[in-house]
Amino acid sequence: MTDWSWEYNPSEEHVADGLPLGVIAEVERLATEIAALGYDATKIGRPIDRAGGLREFDILGGRGFINFLAVPRHQCIYVCNITWYG
């Protein structure tokens, strides 16, 4: 287990407003699991050819995706955007 955490950036209202509760719950579950990876979170998702930067990760079997930043200096995952095709 790591000391990493996660949060919405800039805010939950901005990122998750209007999404179904099940989608928000899944995003929060995934963010918790990604944070548990610690520094390795900089390497998961897309793009697959490099580490760092804005990452993209599919949710709910490809029915949407999240964009997040893994910032080692802050030991935090920042969920920046949720795209839901619903």
pLDDT for the residue 82: 98
Reported as type and span, the H/E element at residue 53 is: none
Q: What is the pTM of this model?
A: 0.93
Q: If 0-12 CB within 10 Å is exposed, 13-18 middle and 19+ buried, where does residue 3 land?
A: exposed
> Taking the mean position of all CA atoms in its chain, how far away is CA 63?
15
Instruction: Name the pLDDT band for 42 (thresholds 50, 70, 90).
Output: very high
Are 49 and 60 contacting, i.e. CB atoms less than 8 angstroms apart? no
* pLDDT for residue 48: 92
Mean per-residue pLDDT, 6-21:
97
On the question of pLDDT at 9 being above 90, the answer is yes
The predicted model gives 14-29 an average pLDDT of 97
Helix (H, G, I), strand (E, B) or coil at 8: strand
